[in-house]
Structure 1
Amino acid sequence: MPLNVNAVLPLLRGFIREDLGTGDLTASLLEGRPATGRYNLKTAGTVAGQQLPGLLYHLLGDDAAYTPEVQDGETVAAGTVLGTATGNMATILAAERLSLNLMQRMSGIATTTRTAVQTLADDHTQILDTRKTAPGLRVFDKYAVRCGGGLNHRMGLYDLAMLKDNHWHAVGSLTAAVQQLRTVLGPAKKIEVEVETDTELQAAIDAQVDIIMFDNQRPDVVRAWQPRVPAEIQTEISGGITLETLPDYAGTGADFLSLGFLTNRVVNLDIGFDLD
């Protein structure tokens, strides 16, 4: 799935307003001067965000251009030139920090996701992200996860119903909560239920939910629970998993494994920009 340009353009306009305010005070020194510069990867990793310099140049006046040298999702070595910027120096430098901030973060997420996929090394279980993203950056964060070989969990509270213990305790029972949601939502929206006990697992199976999340469960528990779940119900592992413990969950048979640290403990990839 490509980057949703229609979704990111309004966000980029807001970022430009935040950074430039009433105008770049040094732009008068640069306006009209032609320039060429290069985005350079200083640390090996997986690239994400290659559309952003060009989109920012477009919003800043459309008098500069960006030519990518590698594609999003590629894993490349330190020293690789990611792309070349040409055009009005004022525009190129006005977009420099914004583009680097986003590309460094996105590439860091993509790199961590690629590492997680390779560490799990399971052809069946797919890595998912979560809603633990930076406010305002979700569309960028989740795109970066896809660049790293992961999949997106729900984008927000609106595209999948997830029942946690707080929800069904308020209603009275897990079964009642699922029944009420089915009545309101109909068949168009999927329902996922988080379970932590054997009793909750059986109730979710009996309620014929779409997805069951094994929350905060050891690998041996997941291996014991998975065969009990009918084939038409998907399963997800979640909660407290690290890169160190990730291999323990390989071969459990679950469909998905979600990792909050992909987007809430981001280590930026080191990318620089230099004018020729």
Structure 2
Amino acid sequence: MTISDLQVQTDVRRALEEDVGAGDLTAALIPAQQTARAIVICRESAIICGQAWVMEVLRQVAPSARAVWNVSDGQRCEPNQPIVEIYAGARELLTAERTCLNFLQTLSAVATKTAKFVNAVAGTRVAILDTRKTIPGLRMAEKYAVRCGGGKNHRMGLFDAMLIKENHLAAAGSLTAAYQAALRLKNTAKFIQVEVETLEQLNEALRAGVSMVLLDNMSLDQIRQAVKIADGRCSLEVSGGVTFETIKELAETGVDRISIGGLVKDVQAVDFSMRFSKPSHESEGPVSMPPFAK
């Protein structure tokens, strides 16, 4: 589970520009030389995600800070468990606080929800995938969070794979015509997938030699029939209207993948808080920050 330094730096720079702008007016009330100790606490059981972003916020706002993590990305914490302890200048910590927590609460929410779905299909062959239904500007971060929760990434965007959907089929004239055009234009696409809405379309896809089929908004009975029809000749993915209540039955049909837009777009932020206290010993003041682990 990795994310590039440049991507994290870009995410954080944009977030700080949005929040801090020309400067933190309220933090200026605190003496410049005052140091502080802060503990970030997670108020609920969750899969933690966002360490790299927190560390980058500190690097950009409080470069002399030191942070000690008790829980790493991808690990579960218990309610009221301390996640990270930070020593830095009080002003800088106050400025960094909300941006740090914003990344933690959002990315941990995605990782936690993903883990819930992954655990629900344990023992089946199914992989849980995300979609392109992400917050603009945070796609790479959110897809990283899906991986922290045990899920897998579908395509990163329109640039790395081809998914032929209903409107593509309508514009091309037929499923077969669209797929043949895709084969001619494949170039660097890591895969070509065709979305079907009926069993008749599935049969056409199989005749055309499609190796990856997306079953869109089919009923449970239709999905079971699709698995029998395909008989291992292509990989089958289910998408559309997937809920936690239906995920187990869907996984047991024998499909290979289930993609869920709600892993990202329908999450509730995890509850984190940061609590400050002045260091009791001078040695607890700011020291050089170690490089963060990814």
TM-score by length of 1: 0.95
**Residues 53 and 66, structure 1, Cα contact 8 Å, conserved in 2:** no
For residues 164-203 of structure 1, what are the structure 2 equivalents within 5 Å? Answer: 164-186=165-187, 188-203=189-204
1:121 Cα deviation (Å)?
2.8
1:187 Cα deviation (Å)?
7.1
**Residues 122 and 250, structure 1, Cα contact 8 Å, conserved in 2:** no
**Residues 120 and 249, structure 1, Cα contact 8 Å, conserved in 2:** no
**Residues 40 and 273, structure 2, Cα contact 8 Å, conserved in 1:** yes
1:232 Cα deviation (Å)?
5.7
Specify the alignment match of 1:43 in structure 2.
44
**Matched-pair identity in %:** 37
1:205 Cα deviation (Å)?
1.3
| In 2, Cα distance between equivalents of 1:163 and 1:190 | 11
* Structure 1 stretches of 4+ moved >3 Å: 186-189
For residues 1-276 of structure 1, what are the structure 2 equivalents within 5 Å? Answer: 1-30=1-30, 31-186=32-187, 188-229=189-230, 231=232, 233-276=234-277
Between stretches 245-254 and 147-156, larger displacement belongs to: 245-254
CA offsets, 1:162-217, max 9 Å, x none?
A: 00111011111111111111111247531111111122101211222231011111
**Residues 190 and 210, structure 1, Cα contact 8 Å, conserved in 2:** no
RCO comparison, higher one (Cα < 8 Å, 6+): 2
1:9 Cα deviation (Å)?
0.9
**Residues 215 and 237, structure 2, Cα contact 8 Å, conserved in 1:** yes
**Residues 114 and 150, structure 1, Cα contact 8 Å, conserved in 2:** yes
1:146 Cα deviation (Å)?
1.0
1:230 Cα deviation (Å)?
5.7
Structure 2 portions without partners, runs of 5+: 278-294
**Residues 113 and 263, structure 2, Cα contact 8 Å, conserved in 1:** yes
- What root-mean-square deviation, in Å, do the aligned CA atoms of Structure 1 and Structure 2 show? 1.6
Instruction: Indicate the SS of the match to 1:130.
Output: coil
**Residues 61 and 91, structure 1, Cα contact 8 Å, conserved in 2:** yes
Q: Tell me how many residue pairs correspond in the alignment.
A: 276
| In 2, Cα distance between equivalents of 1:13 and 1:239 | 35
| In 2, Cα distance between equivalents of 1:15 and 1:187 | 32
Between stretches 158-167 and 218-227, larger displacement belongs to: 218-227
| In 2, Cα distance between equivalents of 1:12 and 1:88 | 19
Structure 1 portions without partners, runs of 5+: none
